Amino acid sequence: MSATESELRNPNLPKRLRNARRDCGMTQETVAAQLGLARTSLVALEKGERAVRAEELVAMARLYGRPVDELLRPSAPVEDFVGQFRTSLSRSADAEELEQAIRMVERYAEDYRELERRAGVAANHQYPPAYSIDGLPATAAATEVATTERNRLCLGDGPLQGLRDVLETKLGIRVFFIALPSRIEGFFAFTPETGACIAVNANRPVERQLWTLTHELAHFLTRRLSAEITVAKAHSPGRVPAHERFAEAFAGEFLMPTSGLTRDFNAILRTRPEGVTPGALVELAGFYGVSFQALVVRLEGLGLLARGTFDMLQHEGFSVAEARRLLGLEPRERDTRVFPARYVTLAVDAYRDGRISEGAFARFLRVDRVTARDVARALGQLG
């Protein structure tokens, strides 16, 4: 596309050019050489001290692998999204790969804002005030916050269905499922521009994905200004930070509320005078959408099973996979949808209404044009 003079004077264009270069890992010297400019000229462009020429914009867009219309967006770019994670990144063995994932989510969140702008709709943020848990034991705080939030969202006390879509619809939290380094379960960040964003490792089992999503929700509800990266088995026993103990306890209470889980466990007892069997626990774990270990440990914590039950079953060689096979329980598929449902709907509507081209539609969905057409047809938007 060709840029108009007013678009080239967009005060946000210099920042977007700087961010696009940074995201490519290119130095100002390298870019200036590629464009046939002096480095001082590129510095002036990125500071907004010199206007960008149309041919320079096209050349930089090609060099950075960005569409011209993305660089010309009138909204201000997200500032220092990655900077929120700087401390965590400095300690991570996967820092480079993780930073790329964080920048990817930053771009997804920017694209979400752009789709809302083009649709003329406001962000659907419906956040509660941050919960204060200062001075409370982790378990007590988790029970209070999880119960209050479940009641506020009218979720009852039974198993949750479609939590990702619930968070998107009822809270306006942007949830993205992406490939993350093997050690990373997920991360959470909040900025005034993007709102709350949660990334979950798309390569984890579905039960772990659900747990991670709920864990990050706990951080949002209590520490939304503190970006958080959740690492698998990150802490040694007895040295878990208080906010992590809270998040883990919150996940247990939110996914398996005390009242509902106790009721369902007692219902099993009434039909099994001989006692609850491991097979019945496998079924109960599937009912709540959590792992067998998470369920048994939760029941131990509630005093419904003896402490050490899970360890004993492990020692005896109990196989959850074999139990599921014998019970005829179908394996649950992990969530591999990169984008929230609302994001896809906004993109399809914009394409259908002619507000974005087919090429832009495909770029928003990160697919080729043939797949993009298939998505639109599958959603009933094309004849």
Q: For the segment 250-280, what is each residue's pLDDT rounded down to a tens digit? A: 999 999 999 999 999 999 999 887 789 999 9
Task: Provide the 10 A C-beta neighbour count for residue 188.
Answer: 27
Dihedral over Cα of 310, 315, 321, 325: its sign = negative
Burial of 147 per CB tally in 10 Å (0-12, 13-18, 19+) = middle
- At residue 237, the 3 state secondary structure works out as coil
Give residue-wise pLDDT tens across range 218-242: 999 999 988 999 998 754 455 788 8
pLDDT at 90: 81
pLDDT at 380: 61
- For residues 275-293, one letter each, b for 16 or more C-beta atoms within 10 angstroms of the residue's C-beta and e for the rest, the string is ebebebbbebbbebbbbbe
Cβ 72 vs Cβ 13: under 8 Å: yes
- At residue 184, the 3 state secondary structure works out as strand
Phi first, then psi: give them for residue 189, nearest 5 degrees. -150, 155
pLDDT above 50 for 192? yes
pLDDT above 80 for 97? yes
Residues of the chain above pLDDT 90, percent: 70
DSSP output for 88-146: HHHH-TTHHHHHHHHHHHHHHHHHHHHHHHHHT------PPPPPP-TTS-HHHHHHHHH
Give residue-wise pLDDT tens across range 303-358: 999 999 999 999 999 999 999 999 999 888 888 899 999 999 999 999 999 999 99
- Give the Cα separation of 201 and 46 in Å (integer): 34
Helix axes 292-301, 258-271, angle to 10 degrees: 100
Q: Find the mean pLDDT for residues 356-374.
A: 94
Domain 1-77 belongs in CATH node 1.10.260.40: yes
Considering only CA atoms, which of 81, 365, 367 is closest in space to residue 199? 81
pLDDT at 234: 52
Domain borders along the chain are 1-77, 258-327, 341-378
pLDDT at 337: 92
Strand order across the 174-178 sheet: 174-178, 195-201, 184-191, 228-231
Paired residues of 230 in beta bridges: 186
pLDDT above 70 for 33? yes
Q: How confident is residue 382, by pLDDT bands cut at 50, 70 and 90?
A: very low
- Give the Cα separation of 195 and 189 in Å (integer): 8
